[in-house]
Amino acid sequence: MTSQYVRHGAQNIVGQLLVGLLIVALVWRCSVFILQSIWRMKQSPAKYQQAGTQEHQLVAKEFDWATTEPKKLRPFKPIYHITMAIQNNSLSELIIMDKNYLCRINLRRQLMERHQRTVYGCLPTGREAVHELYAFLMGEHLPSHYPSMFRLTNSRKMLENRVTGRSFPINPYEDGEECLRVLGQTVEEDMFLLHKTPEGHFTDAFVCCFPSGFNPSEKLGRLLKDVHGPVPSYEKIGASMERYFSKLEVGKSVKRNNWSIQTHPELFDCGGDTTIAKDEPGRGEAFRIEETYFRSELQALTRLPKTGSVLFSFKTYMYPISEIKEEGLGPELADAMEGLRKGNAPGMWRYKGAERWAEKLCSYLRSP
């Protein structure tokens, strides 16, 4: 009987020891995992901040760009006030795909061949930021967010665009402009990179194939306040813009919209109707409603984690003016057109070219 108790007690002791060892092992593993996680966060804070909040929003593998309708942006209000009008944005929407992708990418490739000096450029001060942006988009963001469109090949050294059939290295080219040329024919978003200086934020790299009434090459090497120099009443938000750019956190993205009216269908509008309107009021009244578009940009601001540069990017949307009317929003857009001169920036009436088209379009939009 005594020996049985001894054996039973020994078994209990052994069992307790095993449980104790198991607990110690689990605690050790958890400690190692926590320490490794902390170390990784210190090494790449932006990546892990993003991973915890936004990486779960990856686009499904079965995403079909060819059947995805473009977003419908209708950011007009009855009275125009110049404000930053910023909203929180998801990094998963940094690049947006829809059924216009292939035709627009083909157009961008043509524009970069015809207007090389106009649509992309890079100063020496911007090369490091361009390299960072290129490596992130080509090596991480595109293949993870749009696996049905992009995949890594050749031992994960190349990115294959499954829509165009083209492939490019995921490591950036030494030449910053070559990186921008590749990005310009891979994604539809136009991009400007800025870094902070004692005088303000400075533009040192860009790729912009779809400008709306301006020459993008003229923005290179200029301060933010000078880039927006022609914008009426910009001084009302200029200081706030600089402060916001300075405080923008790594891993965070914000967005805003703008809108304009265009009396031709071209996405590449380097001079545009607004130039005619500002320099020669009254000219060009003979335009066709059928060729008139409501143009809107979905703009985003994002800070790059390594260089700290600010990425200003935007995707352009074009809608026939008839589409707005068919939606029943004609009177609201007409009010917004007339409201361009009623808010805190009345100069927008002429800046946006309303002298040319407002009367005719308002009549059309309010008609039965």
Distance (Å, whole) CA 119 – CA 345: 29
Convert the pLDDT of each residue in 103-151 to its tens digit: 999 999 999 999 999 999 999 999 999 999 999 999 999 999 999 999 9
By residue count, the chain amounts to 368
pLDDT of residue 251: 85
User: 81 pLDDT exceeds 90?
Assistant: yes
pLDDT of residue 55: 41
Provide, rounded to the nearest whole percent, the portion of the chain with pLDDT above 70. Answer: 80
Looking at per-residue confidence, does 305 or 56 come out higher?
A: 305
Looking at per-residue confidence, does 139 or 281 come out higher?
A: 139
Distance (Å, whole) CA 60 – CA 62: 5
User: 339 pLDDT exceeds 50?
Assistant: yes
Provide, rounded to the nearest whole percent, the portion of the chain with pLDDT above 90. Answer: 77
| Mean pLDDT computed over 29-41 | 43
Which region among 6-10, 82-86, 90-94, 264-268 has the lowest average model confidence (pLDDT)?
Answer: 6-10
Q: Tell the burial category of 348 from Cβ atoms under 10 Å away from its Cβ (0-12, 13-18, 19+).
A: buried
pLDDT of residue 58: 60
Domain assignment of residue 243, yes or no: yes
Q: Domain containing 312: what range?
A: 45-366
pLDDT of residue 41: 39
User: 310 pLDDT exceeds 90?
Assistant: yes
| Mean pLDDT computed over 158-178 | 98
Domain assignment of residue 13, yes or no: no
Q: Tell the residue number behind the tokens 């379009």, with chain if given.
A: 361
One-letter amino acid of 282: G
Give whole-number Cα distances, 121 to 23, 201, 307, in Å. Answer: 59, 17, 18
Looking at per-residue confidence, does 11 or 234 come out higher?
A: 234
| Mean pLDDT computed over 315-322 | 99
Distance (Å, whole) CA 244 – CA 84: 10
> Using 50, 70 and 90 to split pLDDT, how confident is the model at 337?
very high
Instruction: Please count the other Cβ atoms lying within 10 Å of the Cβ belonging to residue 313.
Output: 23
Distance (Å, whole) CA 231 – CA 238: 10
Among 123, 81, 114, which Cα is nearest to 348's?
A: 81
Full-model pTM? 0.82
Q: In 263-332, which ranges are E strands?
A: 293-303, 310-320
Distance (Å, whole) CA 77 – CA 74: 9
Helices (DSSP H) in 115-184: which residue ranges?
A: 116-119, 127-136, 142-145, 176-184
pLDDT of residue 285: 61
Among 368, 342, 337, which Cα is nearest to 353's?
A: 337
Domain assignment of residue 183, yes or no: yes
**Cβ(251)–Cβ(305) below 8 Å:** yes
Domain assignment of residue 283, yes or no: yes
| Mean pLDDT computed over 162-186 | 98
User: 22 pLDDT exceeds 80?
Assistant: no
Convert the pLDDT of each residue in 282-295 to its tens digit: 444 689 999 999 99
The total of structural domains in the chain comes to 1
Domain assignment of residue 19, yes or no: no
Instruction: Take residue 115 and report the two structure tokens written for it.
Output: 């207007």
pLDDT of residue 15: 52
Domain assignment of residue 10, yes or no: no
Domain assignment of residue 217, yes or no: yes
In whole numbers, what is the pLDDT of the chain averaged over residues? 86
User: 26 pLDDT exceeds 60?
Assistant: no
pLDDT of residue 271: 76
User: 46 pLDDT exceeds 50?
Assistant: no
Q: 124-129: long-range contacts at Cβ-Cβ below 8 A with a sequence spacing of 24 or more?
A: 125/195, 125/202, 125/204, 126/176, 126/193, 126/195, 126/204, 126/205, 126/309, 127/176, 127/205, 128/306, 128/307, 129/193, 129/195, 129/204, 129/205, 129/304, 129/307, 129/309
| Mean pLDDT computed over 78-107 | 96
Domain assignment of residue 111, yes or no: yes
Q: Is 167 helix (H, G, I), strand (E, B) or coil?
A: strand
Q: b/e map of 173-183 (b: 16 or more CB within 10 Å)? A: beebbbbbbbb
Instruction: Take residue 286 and report the two structure tokens written for it.
Output: 């003979």
